[in-house]
A and B are shown apart, each in its own frame.
Chain A
Amino acid sequence: MKKFRLLLLDANVVIELFRQGIWDRLIEACDVHLAQTVISTEAHFYEDSEGVRTDFDLGQYCKARKISVFDVARSELTTFRAQFDPTYFEKLDPGETESLAYLVNSKDTCLICSADKIVYRVLGNLNRGEQGISLEEILQKAGLGRKLSWPFSKAFRETWTKKGFQERISGTGHQRNRG
């Protein structure tokens, strides 16, 4: 039994997993879904502390059906877009936009893991904070716990989700004006 179902990862998380050398173990433990853009343009390599580049190929994991890929039609963005100012499309990575649009449209409960403040802010804004999860929490539950940097921590996720939620309450977020 996999630890997490419908786990959406952003490109920064995928890169960190490869950098830590635990990508293969993670996808065995979890049911990972990636946006098409993450695979095709955003996550191709990682760099070590000295900037030395190591390439990886997510395509082979798709072919082997070890991970799932989703692509979001423009019309499917409508629900997501209806809730937000269009500038959000520019603020987010395209892969994150796809993942959030997928999450908003999905009938099943997805979880999204990111290292981006803005992703958690959006979740807080949408009152969907419970659908965010940090890499630290995932690895702990999958028995792969290790020391991670601040953007992958639970505290980071909580801080920025809370900020998004506060913006929702105060009306200073980026929800579209429905007046």
Chain B
Amino acid sequence: MGVPERLQYARQRAGLTGPQVKERAGIGESSLSEFETGKREPSLSQLHALAGAYRRSIAFFLGEGPIPHEVVLWRDRPEEGSEDMEARFLRLCEQYHNLEVWTHEEAPLSLPLVAASRDGFSYGDAEVLAKRVRNELNLGDRPALSLLTVLEEVCGVKVFHLPFTPSGTGASTKSETFGAAVLLNSRNVRWRRNFDLAHELFHLLTWDVFRTDLQAEVTSYSASEYEEKLATCFARNLLMPADAVRVAVSAKVKADKITFDDMYDVARQFDVSIEALIWQMNFVGLLPGRQEETKAVIDRAKGLAPLLEEREQTEPPVCPERYKALAIKALRHGAISIGRFAEYLSISRQGAMRYVEQEVTDDEEVPVAPA
């Protein structure tokens, strides 16, 4: 695929019309049309402007061979701007991968293998998988406290946070180029994001189970309702091990009853939402009753949130700590320019410059005993 075709592909993938490109890149519709049909060649500065508008690298346009097949799996795709959000997400994945390569710190994807058939995959299988993952990743009895760090630092999963609507959505992708990645909504509270992360982890684990027959033209995708329910079942069981929930709840029960205040405290311990905890209490038999009754308890609990929810919430950074650390390392080693470093970290050029001005020569080495 040549430059004209790549320009057209990138514009369509970003969901942009000619007038929108003009607004973002300052390149008129007639010029754009000439570039896309190969009648005229864009200059490097024009290519740079288009790359910024489409959230692509210049290297993408100058690449050779076929374009890699990139699929983003959405849970509640945003009603507006999903294409742009996808482009941003994929660009972040590409940047992260670049930093890993440039610093020789590539982290191969290391997630438990799931060999199962799509047709026979049951809720029981999702529960078993949750238990297996919890054990293999050493997540302990309070998995939410370490899940994000373990996925990023041990398993090689790239996790980004961006603000989007409607709330409650997340996305995941798996690529031959950059591995596996998850996008979470930074507008959600941390305990909700923990659940979303576990939910998306199910999709990554079962990517090759449920997405075996994706056509090459499919770039954006929503899972079936059943698969989403399986993912929710997995997330609930991963973050709230049945035995650990029973122990935590039992410690609060007095005269066969538990207060909402105490339920909020248990939710805090597991760092999940009150809603997720109550559902799990229902599923493990601690809160007997039909679904309607459980929903009523949840509604009552949510109504008390302003009084009982005391956890502190801070907005997460867009990129993981490791991403930033790799970018700084790349800059120190002269593997990335100051401007590109600023772009990768979304800081000003002079903010980036300070990293170079203040750097110290730290190439001393210390002997370490063999492992």
Q: Which residues of A contact B (CB under 8 A)?
A: 11-12, 15, 35-37, 40-42, 46-47, 71-75, 77, 81, 86-87, 89-98, 101, 115-121, 149-151, 160, 163
Contact = CB atoms under 8 A, between A and B. Distances in A.
Nearest to A164: B334
A117 B43 contact: no
B253 to A, nearest CB: 55
A172 to B, nearest CB: 11
B356 A90 contact: no
Contact of A12 (B3, B49, B334, B353): B353
B48 A94 contact: yes
18 contacts: A11-B349, A37-B48, A46-B350, A47-B350, A47-B351, A72-B43, A86-B59, A87-B59, A89-B57, A90-B57, A91-B340, A92-B340, A93-B339, A115-B356, A116-B334, A116-B338, A149-B357, A163-B334
Chain A, interface SS category: helix
A143 to B, nearest CB: 25
B185 to A, nearest CB: 28
Contacts of B353: 12, 15, 115, 151
B255 interface: no
A146 to B, nearest CB: 15
Interface core residue of A117, A121, A163 (most chain B CB under 10 Å):
A117
B41 A75 contact: yes
A92 B349 CA distance: 13
A96 B349 CA distance: 14
Given A12-B353, A73-B43, A74-B42, A41 B48 contact: yes
Chain B, interface SS category: helix
Nearest to B43: A71
Interface of B: 3, 41-45, 47-49, 52, 57-59, 62-63, 98, 101-102, 333-340, 348-351, 353, 356-357, 359
A74 B45 contact: no
B177 to A, nearest CB: 12
A47 B350 CA distance: 7
A118 B335 contact: yes
A96 B340 CA distance: 10
Nearest to A116: B337
A35 B101 CA distance: 28
Contacts of A120: 334
Given A74-B3, A91-B102, A97 B44 contact: yes
Nearest to A78: B62
A143 B351 CA distance: 29
B62 A89 contact: yes
Contacts of B98: 87, 90-91
A12 B338 contact: yes
Contacts of A95: 339
B144 to A, nearest CB: 36
